[in-house]
Structure 1
């Protein structure tokens, strides 16, 4: 796509907005290289990434990416054997740590079952280097300083440096605060040439001996290293040299460790830059209140409530812009300052943004097209250097456009044919529009010429439009009116400003009749449009009301259906009880009849098959009560029930009841089975209702806490006295709860706690017996207590 259009429509300014949200060097490169494309598959993938970014922005506030520098030069240097400094290694380390943080962030999104179209694919490309990341993190600070933990030798050297500096300071403190302070210019300790010195008055330079390292500008103060600390300074200097050598060795070693992974590190930085770019698109979309539009391969553009992205979103007037489906050319007429040029630029700029994968400030359900080229001739193109008039410059651009345009082109003309004789300009404008129409190009043009108003009516695939003007306030409303040509408001404005009506009447008579008729026709169209708009708003009100009524009725019907099923279930249950009672009575009657018949020994009474038929009829009166359980809606809702921590389940593999503790991943939970915790797949567990609390065997008053006594007491980590007191209280509560046995978990440890609990249980009057737990339930780390 031609680069001139990017500047003409302000696409470069949109990129400047976008780059303010970028935090990585790689992301900034992505923005710099961004241009509109015309491949549908590429645009679709870019828009899907933007949609994912907007979703993450909405749900999590965006992707957590810190500021990262460009590490490509660093990787190039270590490839040729150079060593990186501390700052450069810290920058590489930030890339590796950011890789881990972003991966954890998206794993959390996956655990939350948040669906994304493209971003998970990018995350899969990240390469984890945990050992290398850990090594850099513990060796290099954020500011590039090599830490004491980088090597044992460096730690010892820095300890020696600190001790030497402490010794020197103590010695110098004794000098500057003692009787010799009178020889000093100031009672301070400073440094010169990386050695500790004191400021001595020039006339007393021989008092302390030692070495003079510097003097003040006036020469009155000498910075002297006293002789008694020369040796200490020498030792400090040796330690500092050793520190520098060790740091160089560490930096060289760390640089060498990066070499085998330089390609992976570079790709990680590239992926993080992509994510930063997607993140910035989402943040721009939030700022513009934009969306990701649908793509129309037929180029049926429909931008609902479109707003220019470079105008304050709280002040810009939104307009519906449609082109391509019912018409391929729009001719906007009307006076200046009404917003015609902004409408042109809005259409073109939003299309460029969409073809660059950016969110655009339009309403939901908007759709964009895909154009191979977007051409525009907008603004004053007068060129002093080339001695070209405004008209000549416009014609030069138009000629260039006509040579390149095709059916996949969008052409935007501002003031088509302006700058020359009105009759000739109007004729040229009509011919140019016809030429573009013959090539099936998509066109939006603005003009002052009234002749083009008629053109919009007479040409197929072309429609008139105008910008609304409020005569009452004498100001434009900036609303686009498609289907209504613009008209001059000079007479109305003059009348409101107080011009004599006689003058206005004479002007109307002088005005060409056809133009007057045309303006009257336009005025009539505007009135009809306003009437239609009023009727539409009224109908819209009733439609909204009908939708609300329909929604309420739907909810009421669903409630009615549920209540009906409940009442029918109750009725069936009651009828079954009545039938069961009648059946029982009938069984007694039939039995009595059979006995009487057998006792009489005669065949003249009731026949056996008659008895069987009677009994069958009574049985058929029974109603099924399980219809509600077979309700597909309820069954589907039951299947979709989500497990949560604290639910009780049967683990099918072991046939044991357990309690869910936490979700490990998408399909596995950690389950508490007795004293054991294990990972179990959701496929191998069945949700069950919680067990009822054990009923009390003795009719006595129970405390409110007894109904919540667990069947296991965990004493691990408790002190001896605290544990025995807790055992005493727990056993009393378990006995009151009616438990036949409980488990006390004391751990193995030194065995002191286990021995103490064993002695206590021997002397407890309610303990029938006790033994260590089986091996698979803790062995001698737990004791099972049985009550008598």
Structure 2
């Protein structure tokens, strides 16, 4: 896919892999990094990218993954696979620690089911075989040594060894003290010789103690003797140790045989640990270079937004330099090839290498340092011509090497090939190199290749300006400060600024004057025109940036205005709701009054005086209601005189809305009122005190509402199959009642369907200040077909 083979190295891809390898814990993980290669299948690239992105998210926002022990267990499993072979104690200990890590990782992701779906694919259907750990733990202790009670025989042997060693020590201590009392010993204490505990005896006394002489001092004055009676005990200990070793081998062989049926599972565990180590290393590197996952495209295109060269970014950090200037470019069906020109050391090659390196990283499943809105497609081939590839062995000059690559590019490139060429056309006489480069570019363009090409040749710039599919681009240059800006702009070629840079360096004026005379008049005009165009382009760019900032300010103001408008609409809706409720109450009271009047008239048996009196009362009530309505329409709260004797516990009516409530706290000119389960704050001059029957009536009504049992209230609302307006009306009734009695949550069953009813319901819930949050039901119990709304 990559041509030539060293193109990846020249683009910096090999160095990227070395940096990722440094993040790996295991050798197996490093081996996987060595195998990283660009892929051509979009679904495979997508999975690799999502796994890395999920691991990066895990590292940044979740509890640490339990990766304490990443021992390679593949070679141990292969050893255990052989019949008759057995693993040593330390090898079983490494398997034990690795299995604990594997099981901890599996439990970690089981606790976060569906949170990291792509990472879960690494160990899908991988079981936790606890019997392996239990078998090993019965034999191996936490220090990696075999337990004395691994078998009854081993325990018995261990006890005999301990007993014999104690007896041997007791005997030699006794002999040593006796020898000291007789004056036979040399200076010093008991010492070890040939692995045996010996007594230092003066040479002239060595015949006085029966035993085996293990060693003598350099002067020959001291002999180191193991007493005869201790010698037999030590031999017994040695025999027991041999017996113990045979029993240990038997136990380890048996344990290995018990492990052998699980060898395939151990290989799977090893694969899981290796892959996790590999993905973890990629995620850690992505964090180092501030990388993100771009959007994937099914077509061969590149759209980079605020992209940075990862190696340049890391180098600038280490050197304490300012942040790297981001790169923004687009390669698509219309502008397939960018022909980048501009000053030397202006960033042309870095631009081209950034595109190539990020494309290789992307197709290798690595996150890249760019904004997430960047979009990259898949290329089947990446051809690059970078640097000097002359070869003495192959008798190739620099230009011959370039031509060899151009031949390969022209023969094998197609519409899904990315071509990267640095300093196109150089290496030979410009009079001939320019036309050859132009011809090669024409052939490549007919093959509809994509790519980035850098050049200084004017004929190529001119060719690009009138050729469909090729777009001129240049690196901006500050011709006042005489410094490159490292910003890519498309649409026009760039000047090389050869004379300006030479003058800034301090080349003598005489040389510059002679050089200007030697270049063609037409070329000089073209170069001057490019400089003027770049200056004008910079002015336009600055103006556009200022306009963009102003547009952002206007957008922010528009957002604030929309928010205010939404707030006003919400208040309007609430006022209308309160008005409707009050109207319903008025009608209810009026109907009750009329019914009572009719009943009294009937009971008076049409007595004229009594009937007249009742009609007069009815008229007074109507006039009173009319007067109250007019008074509220005129906003009496603005002119009403508040009661001076308000106290906590009094019942009042809010003049603006007509709602009644009880005073629960007085703070200067403000009152805190209880309206059922709700609380509100109003000014003293916005209320009127209720007295007598009116006060008793309101208190009785609130008591009735307050006594409403929560048990009688159903928090579940089923609106499936209902029209949106009807569904919202039903939800509104239940929601109001839930707020009134202080119920904590509602369950709204709306079904899945096309999701339209769900959207309207959630938009409606967002308008309620009392709704703190809402969420879907668990996937096993309805998922996004049910919404839970939580109330403050």
CA positional deviation for 1:129:
0.9
**Stretch deviating more after TM superposition (59-68 or 273-282):** 59-68
Checking the alignment, whether the CA contact within 8 Å between 1:25 and 1:68 is kept in structure 2 is no
Checking the alignment, whether the CA contact within 8 Å between 2:296 and 2:377 is kept in structure 1 is yes
1:359–1:477 distance in 2 versus 1, CA, 3 Å: same
The 5 Å alignment of 1:104-503 reads 104-110=107-113, 115-141=115-141, 144-173=144-173, 180=180, 187-215=188-216, 221-313=222-314, 314=317, 315=321, 316-496=324-504
RMSD: 4.1
Q: Secondary structure at the match of 2:457?
A: coil
Checking the alignment, whether the CA contact within 8 Å between 1:348 and 1:412 is kept in structure 2 is yes
Q: Secondary structure at the match of 2:25?
A: coil
CA positional deviation for 1:498:
5.9
CA positional deviation for 1:305:
1.7
**Stretch deviating more after TM superposition (316-325 or 514-523):** 316-325
CA positional deviation for 1:666:
6.9
Checking the alignment, whether the CA contact within 8 Å between 2:73 and 2:94 is kept in structure 1 is yes
CA distance in 2, matches of 1:216, 1:416: 83
Q: Secondary structure at the match of 1:46?
A: helix
Question: What's the TM-score once normalised by structure 1's chain length?
Answer: 0.72
Q: Secondary structure at the match of 2:387?
A: coil
CA positional deviation for 1:548:
2.8
Checking the alignment, whether the CA contact within 8 Å between 2:341 and 2:496 is kept in structure 1 is no
CA distance in 1, matches of 2:779, 2:372: 36
Q: Secondary structure at the match of 1:298?
A: coil
Checking the alignment, whether the CA contact within 8 Å between 1:416 and 1:446 is kept in structure 2 is yes
CA distance in 2, matches of 1:79, 1:459: 66
Question: What's the TM-score once normalised by structure 2's chain length?
Answer: 0.72
Checking the alignment, whether the CA contact within 8 Å between 1:176 and 1:187 is kept in structure 2 is no
2:105 equivalent in structure 1? 102
1:219–1:443 distance in 2 versus 1, CA, 3 Å: farther
Checking the alignment, whether the CA contact within 8 Å between 2:456 and 2:496 is kept in structure 1 is no
Checking the alignment, whether the CA contact within 8 Å between 1:565 and 1:628 is kept in structure 2 is no
1:85 to 81, 84, 88: 88
Checking the alignment, whether the CA contact within 8 Å between 2:746 and 2:789 is kept in structure 1 is no
Deviations 1:573-613 (A, max 9, x none): 5444444443333222222333456568xxxxx9xxxxxxx
Deviations 1:554-588 (A, max 9, x none): 44445445544554454445444444443333222
CA positional deviation for 1:504:
5.2
1:17–1:257 distance in 2 versus 1, CA, 3 Å: same
1:250–1:487 distance in 2 versus 1, CA, 3 Å: same
Q: Which runs of 5+ in 2 are unaligned?
A: 609-613, 615-621, 630-657, 660-704, 706-727, 749-776
The 5 Å alignment of 1:580-591 reads 580-591=588-599
CA distance in 1, matches of 2:746, 2:551: 37
CA positional deviation for 1:138:
4.0
**Stretch deviating more after TM superposition (116-125 or 300-309):** 116-125
1:187–1:583 distance in 2 versus 1, CA, 3 Å: farther
Checking the alignment, whether the CA contact within 8 Å between 2:301 and 2:378 is kept in structure 1 is no
CA positional deviation for 1:6:
2.6
Q: Secondary structure at the match of 1:187?
A: coil
Does residue 1:542 correspond to 2:542, yes or no?
no
Does residue 1:630 correspond to 2:732, yes or no?
yes
CA distance in 2, matches of 1:640, 1:527: 64
Count of matched residue pairs = 640
1:733 equivalent in structure 2? none
Deviations 1:739-765 (A, max 9, x none): xxxxxxxxxxxxxxxxxxxxxxxxxxx
1:204–1:306 distance in 2 versus 1, CA, 3 Å: farther
CA distance in 1, matches of 2:150, 2:541: 75
CA distance in 1, matches of 2:509, 2:417: 49
Q: Secondary structure at the match of 1:73?
A: helix
The 5 Å alignment of 1:610-759 reads 630=732, 638-639=745-746
Deviations 1:690-740 (A, max 9, x none): 9xxxxxxxxxxxxxxxxxxxxxxxxxxxxxxxxxxxxxxxxxxxxxxxxxx
CA distance in 2, matches of 1:178, 1:343: 90
Deviations 1:59-99 (A, max 9, x none): 22653323433333332333331111122222322332222
**Stretch deviating more after TM superposition (164-173 or 240-249):** 164-173
CA distance in 2, matches of 1:687, 1:496: 69
Q: Secondary structure at the match of 2:23?
A: coil
2:519 to 505, 508, 511: 511
Checking the alignment, whether the CA contact within 8 Å between 2:52 and 2:366 is kept in structure 1 is yes
CA distance in 2, matches of 1:668, 1:210: 82
CA distance in 1, matches of 2:548, 2:171: 92
1:215–1:60 distance in 2 versus 1, CA, 3 Å: farther
1:176–1:207 distance in 2 versus 1, CA, 3 Å: same
1:757 equivalent in structure 2? none
Q: Secondary structure at the match of 1:118?
A: helix
CA distance in 1, matches of 2:469, 2:537: 21
Q: Secondary structure at the match of 1:145?
A: coil
1:73 to 75, 98, 120: 75
CA distance in 2, matches of 1:64, 1:546: 49
CA distance in 2, matches of 1:175, 1:472: 100
Checking the alignment, whether the CA contact within 8 Å between 1:157 and 1:239 is kept in structure 2 is yes
Q: Which runs of 5+ in 1 are unaligned?
A: 601-605, 607-613, 642-664, 670-682, 691-788
